[in-house]
A and B are shown apart, each in its own frame.
Chain A
Amino acid sequence: MTKKYFYIDDCPICSQGLARVRVHVRKQSLTGYILCDECEAAWNDPSLLGRIPRGKEGDASCPDGKTSVWSEHCHWASIEEICLLGWYKDIKAPKDTKLGKAL
């Protein structure tokens, strides 16, 4: 099965990763951020301007600065979550998806 990739852009740091939307869900609140799936550079929003500092041991961390992006509270955003965050206009989507055709 082809994995669907929704991403903002190519990563400006490593040039080969995809800057993808990831969400942190805690107590029914959703916090979105952007994470490169190759070098794990993280940003607060799709502008890719404000980098989120890495946490302990150099691991990428959520905007709260405490939670690892690979913790159970985080996952790659679904298209519904991207819409909830209001970032759907910022993303690129595969052409074979409904969103990709619409964009």
Chain B
Amino acid sequence: MNSKSQKETAASLLKVIPAKWAVAIIAAIIVYVPLQPRLNQWFGWNLPSVASLTGDEPAKATTKKNADAKPSSASKSNESKAPKDESDEDSDLESKTPEKKSPPQSVEDYLTEVGKNRFESPAGLIYKPGSEEGHRLKHIERHLSDMPDRPGSHGVFDGSMVEFLIAIDDTVTRAKQKLKGTSMKEDDGDIAYEAGFDKPIGFLGGETGKRKKNPKVRKMKVIVRDDAVITAFPL
């Protein structure tokens, strides 16, 4: 009933405004629909979907859907830096609509190999050999699971490796832009980027986390040197 009256209001509004404005508004909506989940994911925004704006879908569901679509759309953006194909946009949208969760994408899809065992993220961060584990990717992968016997804190990211890499990129990008809720601290060439997220990204593990009953965490810290990631973890 409410939805019907809304549609009637929209139709009457379209009759009143000039045709060129109506065309411009419709074009804007067409562009907004496929871009909205991607913008949310790339920049950590929380733009509402058209469905939620018209009242057809609750706002909460919009947020969840965006989070679920994270890996899929991010890797696609990496693959297609070339001109965007409209049919590709449509098929992307179609594939998201029926299924609740996109299949997890591989790290190889998200990162670009720029040398022997060297990988670059879309934000320009480099992952290369190093650390006790032999490679930085292996080193940060430790933060995908808890180490309850480890003294002190151990931040655990709640998501896949690709989602972790996306969150790392997002942290550094926002901190470099000096956006609200971010910080950037330099110490002897090592730069520590920190950024908050609007929802929990993981929990506090390790002995300290266990003692505090594993509270949820909303911040990410990334230590970078010469654009190469040394480590990253939620805190």
Contact = CB atoms under 8 A, between A and B. Distances in A.
Prevailing SS type, chain A contact patch:
loop
Contacts of B190: 13, 39, 41, 54
A51 B188 contact: yes
Contacts of B130: 40, 57-59, 70
Contacts of A39: 190, 223, 230-231
Contact of B152 (A10, A40, A59): A10
Contacts, number: 65
B235 A15 contact: yes
A16 B188 contact: no
Contacts of B132: 37, 70
A54 B233 contact: no
Contacts of A18: 150-152
A10 B154 CA distance: 11
Counting chain B residues whose Cβ lies within 8 A of the other chain, the interface size class is: 20 to 34
A13 B187 CA distance: 8
Interface in A39-70: 39-41, 51, 53-54, 57-59, 70
Given A14-B231, A41-B190, A58 B152 contact: no
A57 B235 contact: no
Interface residues of A, number: 25
**A2, A14, A16, A57: which has the most chain B beta carbons within 10 Å?**
A16
24 contacts: A2-B149, A5-B150, A5-B151, A10-B152, A10-B153, A13-B190, A13-B192, A13-B223, A15-B221, A15-B235, A16-B152, A16-B235, A18-B150, A18-B151, A18-B152, A37-B132, A39-B190, A40-B231, A41-B187, A41-B188, A53-B188, A57-B128, A58-B230, A70-B132
Interface of B: 128, 130-132, 149-155, 187-190, 192, 221, 223, 225-226, 228, 230-231, 233, 235
